Amino acid sequence: METNEAAQSELIAALRSALDAAESANRAKSAFLSSMSHDIRTPLNAIVGMTTIAKANLGDTAKIADCLDKIDLSSRHLLALINDILDMSRIESGKMALSPEEFTMADFLHSLMAVFRPQAEKKRQHVELDFTGVRHEKIRADELRIQQVLINILSNAVKFTPEEGTISLTVRETGRVGERLDYAYYQFIISDTGMGMTPEFLEKIFQPFERAKTVSRIEGTGLGMTITSNLVKMMNGTIGVESQLGRGTTFTVTLPLEQLDTGSTVPEDLRGLRVLVVDADAASIRNTREILEDLGMECDVAENAWDGSDLAAQAHEEGHDYFAILLGWRLPVVDGVQACRELRAILGGEIPILLMSTYEWTLSGDEMRKYGVTAFVPKPLFRSRLGEELHKYTEAGKKAAASSAKSAEMSFEGFRVLLAEDNEINQEIGVELLEMLGAAVEPVGNGKEAVDKFSASRPGAYDIIFMDIQMPEMDGHQATRAIRALDRSDAKTVPIIAMSASAFVEDIQACRKAGMDGHVPKPVSLQSLSEAMGKFLRREVTA
């Protein structure tokens, strides 16, 4: 009897606990929907309002430009909100899938910095990077999802770190995954000197719909860290966080990633060559020295332009010039461009001088030659990238460059594009962007019209087809299958690219099964269209 009573008590307690959890979840979701209504309407209000203002000031170019900038910013924020909601929905339903692809860690991290660094610069924050712990750079994994994880964390670091605070990103390999030789753990450590979090909030940071109440007017859905945590778990990784209120936060993400190389090879003709590094950043000097020594090169260092000029002049007088000079852009008193001019006056024009900077290089080739700069090398430096760049100036590298000087340039002039899009505004945007790339475009309103247009054309009339998916009469999948089934020489080979708002992994896979060659997600951009066309359309441009 007592056993039954105890079991009933345990059951009642469990039911109460489940009821409390369900009620708590419902309260959280209700609060989330209320805040989401506000968060979605805020950028929408900006878009609608700025559009109205622009229409009322059609003669004021500066005013219209300002409105367009604010519309662009608001639309990007709205898109980010929608993506978070959709991602969370798909994670909860178990429909999110990973899409592993080959990429290099150098390209990945440079792309990540291109997204993150402008956010930090707006708040005059200091960014510290350390990628010297990466030796195997060629990876196969879901690059987009890894980037999403890191951008979520880095964006929060920017939000919750005050102006002139510090944010650091360290990436390193930490060992093999068990006995597997083709997988290794990669650790991404993101630290900031921001406001930090309370122990109470740390306990629920990865729960959905939670947002810290410590700062007002900081936008967000309360889903970012939940999505981040779930993505890390999907990739069989771990995520940890340490934080102290008022002192900052450190996130550590560890992921097992498939390696496709055994370590970057070292060009043999670099071994033993001397390089002069002129840089004021101690961390950058340490990073550069490690890479150069790993390449088998000798390295001398100067922390300002004067010391660098003295070392270069001394070597020149002794008849033992440096093979190359790596010059930091931001130097005390005399910047890298001025220092380059002085070095050229001493050394002449033969020795390569490579300007290093974390900021995008905006000078043209003519301007670079005017200042004496041989090439621009973006920071953070990577072993493979720096080795390839330095190899260009060896005898073997010069011969290879000469043989490839006749390689084709990319041009979309003269290419004909068939664009299938039923939405009039989207069709107008697609036509305008493609014509900006130089292509000749023929638009049609649905999949059936695309099939009819292609069937009635001569073989080879169209170089590429962009195909919307959801269209009346015949959707993009059906239209693609119909084109591929035609009995003509180009039906199987003409590139067909999906241009669709359906951008999940399974949507992309469905496009490939239908016979499509690629996928450009909406909203489309000039860059995404150019990259898609560049994969399939190449033509030599002759003088």
Compute the distance between CA of residue 518 and CA of residue 540 in angstroms, rounded to an integer: 23
Listing DSSP states for 117-172 in one string gives HHHHHHTT-EEEEEEEE----EEEE-HHHHHHHHHHHHHHHHHTS-TT-EEEEEEE
* Position 222 pLDDT exceeds 90: no
Compute the distance between CA of residue 187 and CA of residue 253 in angstroms, rounded to an integer: 6
- Give per-residue pLDDT as tens, 131-181: 877 888 889 998 888 988 998 899 889 989 999 999 999 999 988 887 777
Residue 235 CB contacts under 8 Å (≥ 6 apart), including other chains: 98, 141, 142, 145, 146, 255, 256
Compute the distance between CA of residue 408 and CA of residue 261 in angstroms, rounded to an integer: 29
Average pLDDT, integer, range 431-439: 90
> What is the CB neighbour count within 10 angstroms for residue 458?
8
Compute the distance between CA of residue 363 and CA of residue 342 in angstroms, rounded to an integer: 19
Q: Give the chain's mean pLDDT.
A: 82
Compute the distance between CA of residue 451 and CA of residue 504 in angstroms, rounded to an integer: 26
Copy the structure tokens of residue 399. Answer: 């011969």
- Give per-residue pLDDT as tens, 483-495: 999 999 899 999 9
Average pLDDT, integer, range 517-522: 88
- Domains and their CATH numbers in the chain: 13-93 (1.10.287.130), 101-259 (3.30.565.10), 268-403 (3.40.50.2300), 416-534 (3.40.50.2300)
> What is the CB neighbour count within 10 angstroms for residue 46?
18
Please tell me what DSSP assigns to residue 216. Answer: S
* Position 335 pLDDT exceeds 90: no
- Give per-residue pLDDT as tens, 97-126: 778 888 888 888 887 887 788 888 889 998
Q: What is the pLDDT of residue 477?
A: 95
Q: What is the pLDDT of residue 153?
A: 93
* Position 30 pLDDT exceeds 90: no
Q: What is the pLDDT of residue 27?
A: 61
Average pLDDT, integer, range 506-520: 88
Compute the distance between CA of residue 477 and CA of residue 481 in angstroms, rounded to an integer: 6
CA distances from 16 to 27, 28, 30, 101 (A): 16, 18, 21, 47
Task: Find the radius of gyration of the CA atoms of the chain.
Answer: 28
CA distances from 281 to 301, 302, 303, 469, 520 (A): 11, 11, 8, 51, 40
Task: Find the helix or strand (DSSP H, E) in which 132 lies.
Answer: strand 126-133
* Position 515 pLDDT exceeds 50: yes
| Contact by Cβ (8 Å): 424, 445 | no
| Contact by Cβ (8 Å): 68, 207 | no
| Global pTM value | 0.60
* Position 412 pLDDT exceeds 70: yes
What strands lie across the sheet with 298-302, from one edge to the other?
298-302, 274-278, 324-328, 353-357, 375-378
β-sheet bridge partners, residue 299? 275
Phi, psi of 531 (to 5 degrees): -65, -40
Compute the distance between CA of residue 329 and CA of residue 357 in angstroms, rounded to an integer: 6
Copy the structure tokens of residue 67. Answer: 């409105």
Average pLDDT, integer, range 198-221: 65
| Contact by Cβ (8 Å): 304, 282 | no
Compute the distance between CA of residue 357 and CA of residue 121 in angstroms, rounded to an integer: 14
Compute the distance between CA of residue 84 and CA of residue 97 in angstroms, rounded to an integer: 15
Q: Of 347, 443, 354, 435, which is closest to residue 392 (Cα–Cα)?
A: 354
* Position 238 pLDDT exceeds 90: yes
Compute the distance between CA of residue 239 and CA of residue 237 in angstroms, rounded to an integer: 7
* Position 319 pLDDT exceeds 80: yes
Q: Of 172, 156, 161, 159, which is closest to residue 126 (Cα–Cα)?
A: 161
* Position 1 pLDDT exceeds 70: no
| Contact by Cβ (8 Å): 87, 123 | no
β-sheet bridge partners, residue 20? none
Which position has the higher pLDDT, 265 or 501? Answer: 501
- Binned at pLDDT 50, 70 and 90, residue 416 comes out as very high
Residue 9 CB contacts under 8 Å (≥ 6 apart), including other chains: none
Compute the distance between CA of residue 27 and CA of residue 343 in angstroms, rounded to an integer: 67
| Coil/strand/helix, residue 490 | coil
